[in-house]
Structure formats: C-alpha cells, structure tokens
Structure 1
Amino acid sequence: MSTPTPDDLRLRMALVTEEILQRSPENVVEPTLERVRQVMDLMGDPQHSFRVVHLTGTNGKTSTTRMVERLLREMGLNTGRFTSPHLHDVRERIVIGGEPVDEQRFLDAYDEVLPFVHMVDERSQAEDGPRMTYFEVLVAVAYAAFADAPVDVAVVEVGLGGVWDATNVADGDVAVVTPVAIDHTRLLGDSLEAIATEKAGIIKEGAIAVVGVQEPEVMQILLDRADEVGATVQAEGISFGVLEREVAVGGQLLTLRGLSGDYRELFLRLFGAHQAHNAALAVAAVEAFVGGGEQPLTDEVVRTAFEDMSSPGRLEIVRRSPTVIVDAAHNPAGVTALVEAVRESFTFGRLVGVLAVMQEKDAETMVGLLEQVLDHVVVTRTSSPRAIRPDRLAEIAVAYFGEDRVSVVPDLPDALDTAAGLADDGGMTGAVLATGSVVTAAEVRMLLGVTGT
C-alpha cells in the first residue's frame, strides 16, 4: 500500500470529521455509559491500560487540565490529554506528549474504533435506541490513541457533568473538581445540588479527590460521594491553596501551598485570580498522583512548567494595535472571573466588547456583569446555529448599557472591525474584548490568523 500524501490525509481527515459530526452533537447527552462501555469492552478496555487524572467542574476545567498535563510532562512522563470543546480542529482534543495528534494517528485510531462503533450502533438501533453520539465516538478514539501510543498517564476533562459523561468509563487515580456553579441546567439540573451530584460521579473507589473552593452544599455532596466509595478528599483552603499572588507583566507571580510542600515566586503566564486557583489545584493533583500527596514536586519542575503554560482562548491577547483579547467565558461564573481579571490585569483607556452568546445561556446576567468593564458593546453572532439573534441580544444589552453604548452588527467579521474602530477612539490605550462563548473566541482567533493551541 502506498504512503498517503499530505493532501490525501487532509482530505480523509475532513471526510472523517464530517462523518463524526453527522452524529448527535455533544450538547445532546444520552444519560448512559452503556454504548461507550460496550465499545471499550469489545476493544479490550484500552482506557485501563494507562493511569488517569480525571477533571470536572463548571469553569476552569480546560486550563487546569492543561496545567496538570504540563507538570506531568515536565516530570518525564509520556502524557495524553483530552479536552473539549476544541477551538479550530478536532485533533486539538487529543494531545500526546504535548502535541495534538497528527492526522495519521487520529485516522488510525478512528479506523481501529469504527468497526466496534458500528456494532454498538446496530445493537442500539435494533432496540430503538440512538447511534453513538459525536462525543462518545471522540472519547473512544482518544482512549484508543492513548493506549496505542502508549501514554503513561491521561489527563482527561469531562465533556459535561460526570456520572454519565462518556469519559467516565475510565477510573481516575485522582479526581479534580474545579468550582461548581450553575450551568447547563437543561442537562444537569437547575440547582447546585443536582449539578454537584452529577459531577461527583468521577470520584471513584480509592481515588484522591482534589477539590477547589466550593459552596457548602456542593462540598457536602462531594464529601458524601468520597465517603461512599472510600476516596480521600483534599480541599483547597485546608490542604492546599494560594498563599501569595501578585500581578506581573504578562501574567502573575504566585506562591502556592501544595499537599506536601510550598512553591515560591512562580511566574504563571496567565491572567486572573481564577488561574492562580487553577494552578494550585493542578499542583495538588500532580502531588496526589505521583506520591499520594506525601512528597513535594521539585521547584524546577513547577517553575519550568508554569513559565511555559498557556491556555488558548482564555483571556488571550491575539493582536496589538488595537489590543484584541479573546475569552471563552460562557456563563455567569466565567464572566465574573473574566471581569475581575480585566480589572486587575489591564488598564485600558477604552474597552469595547464583541459579544456573541448561545441561546441556552444566561445572557442577561452575563451582559450585566460585562457592563462593569466595557465602555461599549458590539453585539453579533457566531456561525453556530445555537447563537442568540443579534437583535435579541441587543435588547438585553440596551437595558444595561443604554442605546448609545450598544452597536448591532450581525456578521462577526464586520463586528470585529466596528469594535476595533470604536476602540481606536481611546487612542493607544483602546482595546477589544471578544467573549460570550468558546465559538466566539475561536472564530475571532481565526479571523485574526491565530490558530495555534
């Protein structure tokens, strides 16, 4: 068989991506692990061939996942990383050794998984059930790729919730729970207790649960789950945390307390108090993973990993003159963290927002929070069919900003141009902040020629 050319690989990759997209989208969740578990069983359970650090929560999951993986990789481990959603290319979700899987490796894993996916689809449809979903197939591909590599450890972010999330066919040695807030109420429930109960499902027998700061009712649910399965809980503010934090050029200086040691004057190339807390969670999770929380990491490992840390689409500067920042905040808790970070880390003379939000989100609360830092907002929409219509979003924005501070530009490229022009009215200190969803951040990055992750 001849070796496929780069053009062959790109074409096949495009066809496979479209094939997977034809399945139920990842915001359609089937409350069962049965289908993905059947595929894993038919393949010989590849998810059990490597150790796992599993992460859930409402905000901060992707950044914390990237931090954990970077620390483990700095320790010399061959790592896998699974995150979602992606910004530009589905292969971003499946990372081995710090790099997204190449097209050949993705296609090899897909070809390995596909016969079993078809078998499970046929079984399910014979019982009037659905085919495997988009997300379930990607999880199967990721676990197959990690097993084939092979990786020493996979750092896995849930897609949604925990109990029924397809990633939960794997059992984490360490379960990380970032702060839990209200989001995805249609799928997870409309109370903190219901959402926390779903997310607690990643805490498995004998695991160490590393838990960020939580509301009391959430913490109680996590403690009850840990007690039920015989897991150990290490909580931020008690077992580990942020000791000192200082804003610095291009990021922040941190002193962190881990489970078994303190780490001083670390430069983190990310903005905001929320990223400092993500960093503390990551250090504690890695300590828990490599030594049960009983031996510190070396200062060199932590320092080098943090200096190299990135989290694309999270308060990321993607252009200068004027400065354009993108942030994937898509719920009130995320926007609250964004607003606090903007206030703390930047001193813009004029800040203009580009805002596009999904229909199922609490747009009104998000707009109200953003009004605190935006001088003007340009409402628009992304290419997603789930985006709120610009005229509807404008009605919400006018209620908070007033008519004079709201512009409606239906097409995102034109909206970005309009915002840049309005920011120029602030002179050299004018800037643009594009936010409201992951898709907003991704499409603005793409428009400005930024595709790296």
Structure 2
Amino acid sequence: MGRGVEWQFDPTLDRINALMDVLGTPQRSYPVVHIAGTNGKTSTARLVESLLAERNLRVGRFTSPHLTSVRERICVDGAPLSEERFVEVYQDVLPYIEMIDERLGKVSFFETLTAMGYAAFADAPVDVAVVETGMGGTWDATNVADGVVSVITPISLDHTDYLGDDVVTIAGEKAGIIKPDGTVVIAQQEVEVAEVLLRRAAEVDAVVAREGLEFGVLGHELAFGGQLLRLQGLKGVYEEVFLPLYGAHQASNAACALAAVELLTAGDEPLEQDLVRQAFAGVTSPGRLEVIRRGPTVLVDAAHNPGGMRASIEAVHDSFDFSHLIGVVGVMADKDVRGLLELLEPVLAEIVVTRNSSPRAMDVGELAELAEGLFGADRVRVAPRLDDAIDIAIGLADEGGEFSGTGVLITGSVVTAGDARHLLHAKGI
C-alpha cells in the first residue's frame, strides 16, 4: 500500500469524494456515528460499538491509528478484518484508486484506508458504522459520510502544525463533522471551544446534547478492575453500570457513547438497564491505561499530548495506590514533549527514556536531555531500545521492595503503547 506517509495533511476532500463516487458511495449505505475530538475518540467508538452490538446490530468500526496491525482500523462484528479479507478489500478498491490517481493526484494512505473501510462496511453489510476521524474534521477523509449522530470528544492542543495553534481554531476544524439537520453529542469542553461547536450546530440546525446539561456522569466510584457508574442519559438514569476502564475521562466517554446510542434509538424510552450494563461490562480499550501484568503492575497508556496525559495521570492517582511509580517514555518529536514531561515529573519517581519503532520518534539523547532538565540526572535512565527500557523499569520496580505499591507506566505515544503491548504479549485488540 505505497500511498505516502500517514501524517501528511492535505485540506481537500476532492480525491476521496471522487473515489467514493466511483465506488458507488458505500458510505451512504448505513447510518454513521461520526466521532471527532483530540482525546477519547477510540475509547468512545468502542463504547458506542459495544452498546450497538448488545442490541444485536451488526457494527463496523473505523479507528486510527492502530496499535499493532493496520487491520485493527477496520473492524466488523468487533474484530479486525482478517489478513485475507483486508487484502481482498484493497484489491477491490485499487483499480478505482488508480483511476483517481490519474485524474486528481495520488490518493493518500489514509484516504485509501477510509475508502476500504466504507467499502468493507457496505459489503458486510453493517447496520451501523462507528467512524473516528483521523485528524481534524472538516478536511478529514472520513468526512465524506454524513453522520446521523456526531460526537465531539474533549478538544485540546494537538497536531498544531496542521490544525492550528490554538484550541478555537482546532475546534472550528473538528466542528466540520456536525452536519445539517443532524445531532451532535458534545463532551465537556473549555468555554471557548464549546462556543465554536454550538455556533456551528446553530448554523446547520443540528440538535445539541451537551455533557453536564442534557446528560452526564452522576457518580462514579472505584471498583475492582474499573469503576461503577451512575449515568444520566438523554432518556433516563442508568444505575450500577460497571465499566472496566479507569479514570473520570472514561466515565465521560461512556456517558457520551450512551447519549449517542440513545439518539439512534427510536422512541422516548430509555435503553434497557441490563443491556447497558452488559455492553459496558464487556468493553475493552487496549492501550488506554491497560493493565498488562501484575507483580509489579505494568500499565500501558497511549497518551501523547498534554490533555490526554493529564487525564491519564488523574486516573492513575484515583484508581491505583502506587507509592512508587516508574515511567517508560517514548514520544514523537513533533509533540509537546516538554509539556508531557512536566506533567509526568511530579508523578514518577524515576523515568526511563527510550524510543518507539516510528521514524517520527524523538532521538533518545534529545529526550534524555529534556528529561534531565526537569527530573534531574539522578532520576533519569536512558535505553535506546524499548524492550531494554521495559526491562530496566521492571527491574527498578522489583528492587523497590520497601515500597508497598510499585508500578510501571509505559506511555508517551500510541506507537509506544502498541510496541509495548507486542513486547509484553498483551491479549486482545
């Protein structure tokens, strides 16, 4: 699939629109729940998918980036396309891609995957597709679909080189998934972000459901393996809902997912309590504060911007009783690395800096220099390879016998999380 690098951003929908047209507009074959935002998109997509599947609907899920295999991005019935099916879908769309290549310029890697996802969902066929934007909203390739329900998860600074260097500009780009006469579920946002989203909704006559006003989290308490929630939906209150994910941000994602599915459901009656409980009790979100092993506890988390890292750190504080936490950190060079390290410094006793498998990864020497400036040289270890970094961190945790609760947090990037899951033989995806 030689389609260029994924992180190239080209603000046009001309190629993907043309490609969808020659493919027979597969994205119009089913209702779409379209999800944009800076953090929480993938977890929210999986939560929506779980609720819909519990209602015996066939669901397609399109998310990005992947942790281990690109096939994870296109799922039907909760599972990635098989290798054979993935190749078959690619071969099916390739002649049309080559046609657009000649007419409008080279179809990108992400546009190719988007077309494959929409085509695979139409062919399945699915009853509903849950689609996460890749970057932004207005100019994101997934935006060739008209979401019956749009969901905007929390917006903060990320991809500033492409989307703008302030949250208001970024919010304007992400607001582009709100469609005329559609419905939008808005997670709690900064005031100026909420104003942009509400203005867009008013301009296109979209119905708005806001977390904290029309729906939200009424209560959450720590439970073994996750949390117990009380949720205010748009159609009723849902009691004693166990969610096997950690953190207030995941409770918020669950509330948004619940509201989105209520909006897809006819009538004014709430969803069945047991249906919601069963759906959420079985949900997973790999690489999102995921416990990979115990003794010592090793957490893998994909946080890669300050907004996501702040939520993850709060979740670690609320959900785990660590007295001594060791970090393994590998980041992308184009991220707010100092911002990430500043958030981690008060939390980590020691940090092992490393790099992941991406060509965009920050040089270990540069990362070590930044870390030493914030942590002090005595708290920083350096390991050019991630497997060595994990071994060092687990060794340090094992040595900390005097500490009753020692853990390891592997974080800094989705790629770091995916690489760590592979190295530690994590199950499920």
TM-score (norm 2): 0.98
Q: How does 1:40-439 map to 2 (within 5 A)?
A: 40-125=20-105, 131-291=106-266, 294-427=268-401, 429-439=405-415
Residue type of the alignment partner of 1:193:
V
SS of corresponding position for 1:214 = coil
Q: Deviations over 1:84-131 (max 9, x none)?
A: 011111111111111111123222221221110000001124xxxxx1
Runs (5+) with no aligned partner, structure 1: 1-19, 126-130
Any gaps of 5 or more consecutive residues in structure 2?
none
Residue in 2 aligned with 1:32?
12
User: Following the alignment from structure 1 to structure 2, what is the Cα–Cα distance between the partners of residues 26 and 262?
Assistant: 42
CA contact (8 A) 1:350 1:425 kept: no
Measure the CA separation in 2 of the matches of 1:255 and 1:245.
6
The SS at the match of 1:30 is coil
After superposition, what is the alpha-carbon deviation per residue over 1:114-169, rounded to whole angstroms, capped at 9, x for unaligned? 110000001124xxxxx111100000000000000000100000000000100000
Secondary structure, counterpart of 1:381 in structure 2? coil
In 2, the alpha carbon distance for the partners of 1:426 and 1:331 equals 29
Moved more, 99-108 or 434-443: 99-108
- Counterpart CA distance in 1 for 2:307 and 2:30 is 33
CA offset at residue 391 of structure 1? 1.2
TM-fit CA distance, 1:398:
1.3
Misfit runs of 4+, over 4 Å: none
Matching residue's letter, 1:53: V
* Aligned partner letter, 1:183: D
SS in 1 for 2:165: coil
1: distance between equivalents of 2:395 and 2:239? 42
Percent of pairs identical after alignment? 57
RMSD of Structure 2 on Structure 1 (CA): 1.1
Secondary structure at the counterpart of residue 163 of structure 1:
coil
**In 2: Cα distance, 1:417 partner to 1:218 partner:** 42
Report the Cα offset of residue 425 of structure 1. Answer: 2.1
Q: Residues of 1 paired with 2:387 and 2:191: CA distance?
A: 44
Q: Residue 424 of structure 1 aligns to a residue in which SS?
A: helix
C-alpha separation in 2, matches of 1:102 and 1:381: 30
How far apart, CA to CA, are the structure 2 residues paired with 1:361 and 1:137?
A: 26
| Range moving further from structure 2, 418-427 or 434-443 | 418-427
Q: Spell out, residue by residue over 1:16-68, the C-alpha distance to the aligned partner (whole angstroms, 9 max, x if none).
A: xxxx2x21222111111110111110011010001100000000000000000
Q: Is the 8 A contact 1:357 1:437 kept in 2?
A: yes
C-alpha distance in structure 2 between counterparts of 1:203 and 1:172, whole Å? 8
**Residue from 421, 425, 429 that aligns with 1:449:** 425
Deviation for aligned residue 1:451 = 5.0
Deviation at 1:305, TM superposition (A): 0.5
Give 3-state SS (helix, strand or coil) of 2:203's partner: helix
Equivalent-residue separation in structure 1 for 2:343 and 2:181 (angstroms) = 41
